[in-house]
Structure 1
Amino acid sequence: MAASGSPSIDLSAALVMQATPLSDWLIIAPVALCICAGAVLMMVRHAMRLHSLIAIAALAILVVIDAALLWKVMTNGPFTMVMGRWLAPFGIAFTADLTGAVLALTGAIAALACAVHARGDIDHASTRYGFYPFLMLLMAGVSGAFLTGDIFNLYVWFEVLLVSSFGLIVLGSSREQIDGALKYAVLNLIGTTLFLIAVGYLYAVFGTLNMADIAVKVTADDTSAPLMTLACLFLLAFAMKAAAFPVNFWLPASYHTPKVVVSALFGGLLTKVGIYALLRVMIMLFPVQREELSIVIAAIAVLTMILGAMGALAQNDLRRVLGYVVISGIGTMLAGLAIGSPAAVGGVVFYALNSVVLMTALYLAVGHAARLGGAWMLSDLSGLYARTPWFAGLVLALFLAGSGLPPFSGFWPKVMLTKAAIDIGAWWLAASILVSGFLLTIAFARMFLLCFWRSSPPGMKEVAPLETVPSFVPLVALTALVVGFGLFPESIMQLSQQAADQLADPSAYIRSVFPPRGMP
């Protein structure tokens, strides 16, 4: 006769039995907010006048949430939330550490500035065809990539931001945009395919996709696994995403084609997601293989930063100049990855934070310059200083920061990276950082002299500066951050160094995913 009672099952071996603390929900709130805001925008698709207001409100809330998330991580250390109450590594984990949290906050600030700017840059047709829903979907992908603790879901969030960026880049449907979107799509899809192949190979080797679990198993590996093959696949895939040499030609061929606010989003955010992925995988998961590949990464870094700076010198279109500036900055960050010391990685994190804000501001600035001067070509612009001196002052501050000159924000991460290179005896790498900065200084000086300092020809149409002042608010705010980072760099340096230390020693990250028995 069968027993009347059911056998007792110990669910604590597979499930989280305690209630999730309310503050832990902060880790998924950025993604949930962006997806919900995008859905609301789709539901009110016939009320175009509401789209910008809803997006700005949602992004302002996103900034607040990311700031609270960063504060929690700074106060209590990395923390993890696993979906469906499953214990890691069985459930899909979101894990926030300093690197992910601070980049998520900086990206949200840049996106908010772009949304405010878009009120004057995005016309009714682009709004109707989904600019603001695509923007929110893009931020969902960016936030998810920075906060996920699962490498397959890193791929998923890459796909989300890639799909939304396709939609943003073709808004307007001009011939130039379609051509740029095709180049952008082909190279990014190749990179995404390589990423997926690497993820599949990784799962076949370790039987897990949780990044903390992979870090533990890589450390305990008996060297029989093809770790160098995996590291090379991830390096190539993320180098394509970050636009590193020699797979960087898609960026200057596409970033100048969409509306300038879209270019600002792409230049400020998208390549930094690739750099973040490289830091997460190469520093935390494959540190030994990164060390063995350091000379290859250093060579790629030098070619990327020097050729990017030379490309900026050769361009006539303002937007193409900035596209090459983005590429040169990627090379500088790769130099820190090649060095690999905590000091160098801290410089990379600082540079990435600065670049998100600075490149967004630079794209918005050249958009204003083109609107005020009536052209995108350096050869067709002149006299902007005489017409709007205060705007010229803002742009000069951004140009000096982009050149890496003191006392602006671009100076300090380059100092950190140059010192880290000298500390390991890599004088040639330190010299390359300085040479690329010198070339960028010439490129920015050329832009300022031609656009602002050169006298205007007689009869040029005047623009009333007061009519354009409200649209400058996002640019002024971003420039203030750039100047603030430069004048008061100590806090950002300290935060960046702490983030680098957590990447180099992921023990706190791993404990947040696999807490010791008896801990909640």
Structure 2
Amino acid sequence: MTAAAFLIPMPVLIPMLGAAATLIAGRRPRLQRLITLVALSAVVVVSAALLYLADRGDTLVVQIGGWGQTTPGIGPLGISLVVDRLSALMLLVSSIVLVTVVLFAIGQGMRDGDDRQPVSIFAPTYLALAAGVCIAFLAGDLFNLFVGFEVLLAASFVLLTVGGNADRIRAGVVYVMVSMVSSMIFLTGVALIYAATGTVNLAELANRLDGISPGTRGALFAVLLVAFGIKAAVFPLYAWLPDSYPTAPAPVTAVFAGLLTKVGVYAIIRIHTLLFPDGGLDPVLLVAALATMLLGIFGAIAQNDIKRLLSFTLVSHIGYMIFGVALASQLAMAGAIYYAAHHIVVQTTLFLVVGLIERQGGSATMRRLGGLAAASPLLAALYLIPALNLGGIPPFSGFIGKVALLEAGAADGAVLAWALVGGGVVTSLLTLYVMGRVYAKVFWRPRAEAPEGQLAAAMPSALLADGGGDVDFNERADVGRMPAGMVAPTIALIGVGLSLTVLAGPIFGYSERAAAQLFDRHDYISAVMGEPT
């Protein structure tokens, strides 16, 4: 067995084994935390090794399931796990975010008190979520991509409703219903594709879909786009997200915002480049990207709750990635890949910072906050750096990714492409306005000038158990105290975001190689089908 064949299943196997171990250690929270950290740290190491191996040469494949060797020209009979440059990058960035967020969650749990937190449920569910993310990135066939999404759905519903108050249960029900609709559409698409081609293996599909009529091929692509568009929160399928994410605890919201929508974006990139490269629905994607950008950022402007505001900016910036996918050029795809990596890190960081704002100021609502720059200059800096990065201020990575996308749009020259260029500039400026508005109200304005400055929306655990309610700011014994276990992971993730700027040349070069590999379908097909390159 080669090193690659041994390493490829590990990002799925390690979290699954870790989840089983944490269930066994359910009455020992410290052991659970240790197992979780060790498992996710191991995934980071394995993902880094896979990225190195994937960048050295061809696509890496391992066949599992025990049905024998791949027959050239016929294809695999088992389950294909595939690693190319795109999936390796997504694995590495996602695993770094997962381990950082769980460190933040541990710091928050230690601060709030272990006896009031469902740690025995959180740890195995979080590891199952990590496994689902990795399954989606590694899947070499549509059915196992569906399995990865379903593992995500099951784990995310548990994490979303941790705490059990009415708002979280309501948001969890909405999230599950929307996700089930998406899953049903996806499964219907898988069934239709199997009926039309006789396979669900992506490499075989890349060959067989070329032999069916353009109308049928376009219809199949449209079904999958709807399913993945819901998961990626693309217009007009995004309305569920701002109502679902803000009610969850800060670590859960952070990992959801950073990762779950990007799994949908990854699926769109994969099927567009590998299965449906003819570009028949690219104009539709361009319109959807423009509407996603503008409507998302307009929604953010109208918000007072920082979590909801960031949820709308999350929707808005998904539009940049869809813009790159729809242009279907190497530069545009490289920009989309780089921007996806940037957005995973920066959006997660901002939600972690909101968790610190809740701890420091007792609320996440701008009407109740003010004066935090004087109360905690460190917190002001922790917010400002990723906020400027999200807004696309040079020389941050957000600026670099947007410039690549805008350059690709200008090079395309079509009317829709130029409309996206204009929309991208407007969205970037409005994002900067929104993030600056948060800074002005939360950090610069004296708290006494806030309309509801005497109240705190963050509630003690006892009130959470009773369904919640506003409490007086002075009743919070922990307000104004940010534990080091929460601050340190946030600083570390800011450092990861800054590394995307400092190492922009090599990382964007890698993104360009990943884009070139995506457009060269023969590399993927030959690796999976067992044919010579």
Same topology, TM > 0.5: yes
Equivalent residue number for residue 238 of structure 1:
228
Matches within 5 A, 1:304-453: 304-425=292-413, 426-453=417-444
Alignment deviations for residues 414-434 of structure 1 (CA, whole Å, 9 cap, x no partner): 111111111111211100011
Q: Is the 8 A contact 1:407 1:487 kept in 2?
A: no
Q: Note the C-alpha offset of 1:222.
A: 5.1
Q: Is the 8 A contact 2:81 2:139 kept in 1?
A: yes
Q: Note the C-alpha offset of 1:77.
A: 2.3
State which of 5, 17, 33 in structure 2 corresponds to 1:36. 17
Q: Note the C-alpha offset of 1:385.
A: 0.8
State which of 83, 90, 106 in structure 2 corresponds to 1:103. 90
CA distance in structure 2 between the partners assigned to 1:466 and 1:302 by the alignment:
42
Equivalent residue number for residue 15 of structure 1:
none
Q: Is the 8 A contact 2:22 2:120 kept in 1?
A: no
Q: How many residues align?
A: 496
Mark the runs of 5 or more structure 2 residues left unpaired by the alignment. Answer: 455-472
Q: Note the C-alpha offset of 1:498.
A: 1.0
Aligned pair in 2 of structure 1 residues 217, 117: CA closer, same or farther (>3 Å)? same
Residue 509 of structure 2 is aligned to residue 494 of structure 1: yes
Question: Which secondary structure state, in structure 1, belongs to the residue aligned with residue 101 of structure 2?
Answer: helix
The root-mean-square deviation of aligned C-alpha atoms, in Å, is: 1.8
Q: Is the 8 A contact 1:89 1:208 kept in 2?
A: no
CA distance in structure 1 between the partners assigned to 2:334 and 2:277 by the alignment:
16
Residue 47 of structure 2 is aligned to residue 63 of structure 1: no
After the TM superposition, list the runs of 4 or more consecutive aligned residues in structure 1 that deviate by more than 4 angstroms.
458-467
Deviates more, 1:203-212 or 1:20-29: 20-29
Equivalent residue number for residue 92 of structure 1:
79
Q: Note the C-alpha offset of 1:246.
A: 1.2
State which of 143, 155, 167 in structure 2 corresponds to 1:176. 167
CA distance in structure 2 between the partners assigned to 1:450 and 1:281 by the alignment:
43
Paired AA for residue 490 in structure 1:
G
CA distance in structure 2 between the partners assigned to 1:71 and 1:45 by the alignment:
36
Q: Is the 8 A contact 1:411 1:486 kept in 2?
A: no
Q: Is the 8 A contact 1:305 1:332 kept in 2?
A: yes
Alignment deviations for residues 5-38 of structure 1 (CA, whole Å, 9 cap, x no partner): xxxxxxxxxxxxxxx3243111101100010000
Residue 128 of structure 2 is aligned to residue 147 of structure 1: no
What is the aligned-residue identity percentage? 35
CA distance in structure 2 between the partners assigned to 1:355 and 1:204 by the alignment:
37
Q: Is the 8 A contact 1:149 1:210 kept in 2?
A: yes
Aligned pair in 2 of structure 1 residues 407, 124: CA closer, same or farther (>3 Å)? farther
Q: Is the 8 A contact 2:332 2:408 kept in 1?
A: yes
CA distance in structure 1 between the partners assigned to 2:333 and 2:84 by the alignment:
15
Paired AA for residue 179 in structure 1:
R
Q: Is the 8 A contact 1:406 1:486 kept in 2?
A: no
Paired AA for residue 488 in structure 1:
L
Q: Is the 8 A contact 2:118 2:162 kept in 1?
A: no
Considering Cα pairs closer than 8 Å and 6+ residues apart, tell me whether 1 or 2 has the greater RCO. 2
Paired AA for residue 260 in structure 1:
A
Q: Note the C-alpha offset of 1:455.
A: 2.0
Aligned pair in 2 of structure 1 residues 114, 124: CA closer, same or farther (>3 Å)? farther
CA distance in structure 2 between the partners assigned to 1:343 and 1:148 by the alignment:
25
CA distance in structure 2 between the partners assigned to 1:390 and 1:321 by the alignment:
22
Equivalent residue number for residue 284 of structure 1:
274
Q: Is the 8 A contact 1:129 1:171 kept in 2?
A: no
State which of 499, 509, 513 in structure 2 corresponds to 1:484. 499
- Name the TM-score, length of structure 2 as normaliser: 0.90
Paired AA for residue 196 in structure 1:
L
Equivalent residue number for residue 103 of structure 2:
116
Q: Note the C-alpha offset of 1:468.
A: 2.8
Q: Is the 8 A contact 1:242 1:273 kept in 2?
A: yes
Deviates more, 1:61-70 or 1:73-82: 73-82
CA distance in structure 2 between the partners assigned to 1:439 and 1:371 by the alignment:
28
CA distance in structure 1 between the partners assigned to 2:397 and 2:120 by the alignment:
37
Equivalent residue number for residue 255 of structure 1:
245
CA distance in structure 2 between the partners assigned to 1:128 and 1:136 by the alignment:
12
Question: Which secondary structure state, in structure 2, belongs to the residue aligned with residue 253 of structure 1?
Answer: helix
